Copies of this chain bind each other. A is one copy, B any other.
Amino acid sequence: MKVLAIESFGAFLGRKGDRIVIKKKKEKLAEIPAGNIDLIKLSVRGVSASMDAIYLALKYNIPIVLTNKNGKPLGVVLPFTYRGLVNVRKRQFEAQDSPIGVKIAKALVYAKIANQAQLIYVLARTWKKLSSDSKAALMGARNSMLDYLKKLDKIRGESCEEVREQLMSIEARAAQHYWHAFSRLTPKELEFHERVKKGACDVVNVMLNYGYAILATDVWLSILKAGLDPWAGFLHANSQRRPGMVYDLMEPFRAPIVDKTILHLVSLKKGNLQSYLQDCRLTPEGRSLVAEAVIERLRNQIRSGGRRLTFSDIILLHARRIALRLANKRPYYKPFLWKG
């Protein structure tokens, strides 16, 4: 996925024929054929655009995301004629109350745990200066997580609601092993003891939360492109507070995209990571650090099904596969299992 991100204060997005032109103080910085762009990100601080350029993007079906200066999504420009795959969405809502939704929810939890286990396995083998104690603890955690996959397999149900609690419980218990193993890889002075979603005040959790928000952008756009309703999830119950399908599809990608990236930052910066936190929030430098690293990771190509694809491509592929499953154009949905 080719992303055009315009974040520089004073930059202007213009149009010249079928090309996007980027200027700053009347100087031309770049000129790119619209056909070569998959996604445009515009920072809301100090960036402007001609509506004509926005229109060109709409014509080429290029999503435009408005972001804060760190790439966190604030808004999205959608074409008015956006072709909704309305029957796919109908099936999506129906599947919430059928075994189809149950199976997709199970597949996503499966991939989440499997990919977490895979990350722990990779780290146990490659992490520098790991004591044999720690290595054994990591492999133990990994094995416990793989055990939960077997438990998961046995769950059956006629509606997502019926199995939600069981799935969530398995996911949570596997997560305890995962985060415990994860904490062994972070220096003591960073005080990462457990995973905290809201109100986190240690730098690792705060960075994870920020990274997940960036991942959510890509997932959200992919879900829109696939014609799904972002709010109607299988694993996550319908709620006005959060887009269930976005949270569902994110699950398998959290460990390989965000967690691995944050651990890499931890290993680079060690105790100094602390300096990116102020009053339980990331400093501007901290936000840039995480945003750049996660976006870089999203643009990483990996080998998948014989092809070389970026993580962004793979997320879109999986949104489309869920849509195809719901439209009954595939007999099952196979989630993303990371080989990393």
Contact = CB atoms under 8 A, between A and B. Distances in A.
Contact of A80 (B50, B52, B220, B244): B220
A120 to B, nearest CB: 32
Interface residues of A, number: 46
A240 interface: yes
Contacts of A243: 84
A54 B51 CA distance: 12
Q: How many copies does the complex hold?
A: 2
Contacts of A51: 42-45, 47-49, 66
A242 to B, nearest CB: 9
Contacts of A89: 89, 93, 229, 231-232
A238 B75 contact: no
Contacts of A66: 51, 54-55, 58, 77, 80
Contacts of A240: 83-86
A239 B43 CA distance: 36
A58 B76 CA distance: 10
A230 interface: yes
A8 interface: no
A294 to B, nearest CB: 16
Contacts of A239: 86
Query: Of residues A51, A89, A94, which shows the largest number of chain B Cβ atoms within 10 Å of its Cβ?
Result: A51
Interface in A76-107: 76-80, 83-87, 89-90, 93-94, 96
Contact of A52 (B46, B65, B86): B46
Given A42-B51, A48-B51, A75-B58, A90 B84 contact: no
Contacts of A55: 44, 66, 74-75
A273 B88 CA distance: 44
A73 interface: yes
Interface string A62-75: 00011000000111
Nearest to A46: B52
A13 to B, nearest CB: 9
A7 to B, nearest CB: 10
A230 B96 CA distance: 21
Contacts of A46: 50, 52
Query: Of residues A46, A48, A77, A83, which shows the largest number of chain B Cβ atoms within 10 Å of its Cβ?
Result: A48
A47 B52 CA distance: 7
B238 A86 contact: yes
A64 B58 CA distance: 14
A94 to B, nearest CB: 7
Contact of A86 (B85, B86, B231): B231
B52 A49 contact: no
Contacts of A232: 86, 89-90
A161 B205 CA distance: 51
B76 A77 contact: yes
Contacts of A45: 51-52
Interface string A105-116: 000000000000
Contact of A75 (B54, B65, B84): B54
Contacts of A87: 238
The 4 closest A-B CB pairs, nearest first, are A86-B231, A44-B55, A84-B231, A44-B51
